[in-house]
Amino acid sequence: MKNQNIVIGSNNAGLIEIDASRKTALAECEQAIQSGFATFVEVGMALCRIREEQLYRVTHRNFQEYCRQRWSFGKTHANRLVLAAQISHELAPLGAISHETQIRPLLKLKREQRREVWIEAVKLNPQPTQRQVKAAAQGVVGEIKVVRTPKTSGNGTVAIPTFNFDERCRAFLDLGIEEARALADFAECDLREAFCRVKADLESCQRILDEGARQHG
């Protein structure tokens, strides 16, 4: 675990005083994440505990910073792993889930809908792919769409959101790293290596962006 011997003073706003129990709890969760990257349920549950008990504050100011600096993925991916782990426990009696991507189409569904969709998916394949689960979801609940309601300004006109360069970079890098990691899990040897290189390049860009933010912060 990083920063084993740090001393937190008054200048480290957002951190908490280190005590043995919280350091031990964080170490246990990080060990589960480190050794369980192939088992997304263990990773998700460990991240859930770190988030809910705010164990990240032993070494970092917020959960986003912790995820990015400790594990090289964003808070969005961490929260998705947490939800996927919870859904996996929920659906376990209906059929084992081996990978987080299998249940991505279920994340936005209600509990009853998830159960119905998973039952239909495992009828076709005991280990359904993400595409098969998505097809089952469309058969049960129809096309899954995310509807965004446009915001209006005070005079009633639609306000078009704008994003600065930093925000666009972070959004792209978070999504790109997550997708490169997921694709590498399914790709054959040569293509897997290519996706891993893409992921490494994107993570390098992310570190440069973070360093620039710290220098200008």
| Band of pLDDT at residue 104, cut at 50, 70 and 90 | confident
Residue 48's pLDDT is 93
| Band of pLDDT at residue 9, cut at 50, 70 and 90 | very low
Is the separation of the CB atoms in 120 and 137 below 8 Å? no
Helix axes 20-35, 40-52, angle to 10 degrees: 160
Taking only the tens place, the pLDDT of each residue in 122-137 is 998 998 998 999 999 9
- Provide the residue ranges of all domains of the chain, joining segments of one domain with +: 1-94, 103-144, 168-216
Higher local confidence (pLDDT), 182 or 74 = 74
> Of 40-44, 131-135, 164-168, 177-181, which has the strongest mean pLDDT?
131-135
Residue that the structure tokens 């369980």 belong to: 36
Higher local confidence (pLDDT), 145 or 177 = 177
What residues are paired with 159 via a beta bridge? 151
pLDDT tops 50 at residue 166 = yes
Rounded distance, CA 114 to CA 93, Å? 13
pLDDT tops 50 at residue 113 = yes
pLDDT tops 90 at residue 119 = yes
Residue 170's pLDDT is 73
Taking only the tens place, the pLDDT of each residue in 128-162 is 998 999 999 999 887 554 444 445 455 555 454 45
